[in-house]
Every structure is written in C-alpha cells, then in structure tokens.
Structure 1
C-alpha cells in the first residue's frame, strides 16, 4: 500500500468519526428535548413502572428525571472534547498525507489512538450507565446504537494502529 493510500484511509476514518460526533453534539444542543426525554426515561427508570418482574429489583437505582438536562450537557461537553481530539488527529493525518512525512504519520497515529480511545470510553460509559439503570430492558434500540458505536470505534482503532508495509523505510 502506498504512503498516500495508507494515510488517506486513516484520515477518512478519523475525519468521518469526527464529523459524525460533531453532528451528534450539534443535534444534542439544538434539539435537547429528544435527549432529555430519553435520558430522563433511563435515569428515572419510569419505563419499568408497569413491570411486576422485569427490573423490579433494580428500581432503587432510579434518579429523578430532572437530572436529564444536566446529564445531557455534561455528555455534550465530553463529546465536544472528543470531537476536537478526533479533528486534531484528522488534521495531522492530512498533514502527513500532504507532506509524505513518516514522522507526522506517527504523530497522527498517536493522536488518533488517544482520540479513538476517548471515543470508546464515552460509549462504554453509556453502556455501563445504561446497564446500571436497566435500559436494556425497555430501550433496546438505544443500547444497540451504543454497542454499534463501540464496535465502530474498535474497528477504527484497529485500522489506525495497523502498520504500513513500508514501516522501516524512509518516505521523505
């Protein structure tokens, strides 16, 4: 694989995830009601109120739904930071691609690994938090989105960490 193909493929993946997360933040800030609703349902565990058996022993974990607003803005703050880390890594990949610099490529990879690890931690926090509040019982589609994002992040991490075939050769 050529240097340009290697660096461009990583640039595309990291920039794509940065764009996706940036749009997610934009949506969270311009349509907070949707996420207040879903976060409120998760935190308050209100969807389990009519259940006699499912999640009955978990109900003590419920929080007031009013915490949804604060929770959303804390999450959006983390998403902003992570999207900036992803954009920074993407920009460094673009520099490596343009300059054909192996040193810049290594720097881009390091930045991407940090950004993608933070991306993974965000979605693991969602999965673990959702598990704590029993969202898997009545909000399976939301859990599926979070699990899908973990898998996408894992694939991106594996791709970014892949060694180029010319690793011991100088490009410049």
Structure 2
C-alpha cells in the first residue's frame, strides 16, 4: 500500500505546487489580476440590461482588499498542502492509523482551496457579481476546473488507508 500513500502524497504536493504558483503569480504580477478583480467587482462588462448592477463595488480600496484576501487564501492553501504533503511523506511507512492521522493539514489545505474557488470565484464572483455574463472577465470555467481537480484529490485523500495486510485501523 506504499504506492497508494505515495500517490496521495504526490497529488497533495501537486496541488500545493499549483496553489504556490498561482499565489506567486498574483504577488509578483499584482496588477494583471487586480484588473480582473476590479472588472468583476465593478460589473462593468456584465449584460447591459441586467438588473443586478446595484451589487457593484466601485471602491478601489475594497478591490485591493478583496484581491489581498484572495492572495492570502491561495497562499494559505499552498502552505497547508505543503505541510500536509510533508507530514504524509514522513508517515508513509507508518501504520495505517498513523498515516491516516497525517492527512489533517492536507485535508485543511484542499478544503480551503475548494472554498476559495467554489465560494470565492464561482458563487461570489460568478453569481453575485455576474461574472458569468462577461465575455472577457469570466473566471467561472477556470474556477470549475480547479474545484473539480481539488475535490477529486480530496476524495481520494480521505479514503482510509490500510496496513500491509489490508486491514483498516
């Protein structure tokens, strides 16, 4: 069962790497995705006849605050997944119970990542701010891919591991 544990560890590390690159890109190229956040929050590219424009947020300070919150959540997702992958790697030859116990940080990181892209981008950005209506600033399809990938890894990760004799703890 070492190969399954190695697989789970590698998948968590892969999400950690991806979230790290997303956060790094947003930090080092702040202005590019700040423009995305500004357009979504100001709702300047939604359908012209929509009646939900009252939800728009025009404050540049709130645009920066929202973007900083997104970057912080992406960074925390990466950190939790890295810690989780490291703990799982250290525990991959231990008992099934010990290995199952090493997954906590990874579960937390994957859950936070799910919430960032499902709640932050799909629910709040996509539905509340009508991002889905925008030809240019629609991040819903990308967020959906991220959510599905993260949830697939999370489901695989939480499947209980067994000891070498096939027994669960």
* 1:24-72 deviations in Å (ceiling 9; x for gaps): 1110000011111110000000113xx443xx20100000151322211
Return 5+ residue gaps in structure 1 as ranges: none
**What's the CA shift for 1:168?**
2.2
**What's the CA shift for 1:114?**
2.1
Aligned to 2:158: 161
TM-score, normalised via structure 2 length: 0.87
**What's the CA shift for 1:158?**
1.1
Q: Which moved more, 1:104-113 or 1:78-87?
A: 104-113
CA distance in structure 2 between the partners assigned to 1:78 and 1:12 by the alignment: 22
CA distance in structure 1 between the partners assigned to 2:34 and 2:16 by the alignment: 23
User: Contact between 1:43 and 1:64, CA under 8 Å: does it hold in 2?
Assistant: yes
CA distance in structure 2 between the partners assigned to 1:96 and 1:6 by the alignment: 13
Does residue 84 (structure 1) correspond to residue 79 (structure 2)? The answer is yes
Aligned to 1:28: 26
Does residue 117 (structure 1) correspond to residue 105 (structure 2)? The answer is no
Match among 130, 143, 148 for residue 146 of structure 1: 143
Does residue 100 (structure 1) correspond to residue 87 (structure 2)? The answer is no
Q: Secondary structure at the match of 2:102?
A: helix
Return 5+ residue gaps in structure 2 as ranges: none
Distance 1:52 1:46, change over 3 A: closer
Structure number with the higher helix fraction is 1
Q: How many residue pairs align between the two structures?
A: 163
Q: Secondary structure at the match of 2:58?
A: coil
Q: Which moved more, 1:60-69 or 1:35-44?
A: 60-69
**What's the CA shift for 1:81?**
1.6
**What's the CA shift for 1:88?**
1.0
CA distance in structure 2 between the partners assigned to 1:169 and 1:147 by the alignment: 33
CA distance in structure 2 between the partners assigned to 1:116 and 1:77 by the alignment: 15
**What's the CA shift for 1:169?**
6.1
**What's the CA shift for 1:104?**
3.2
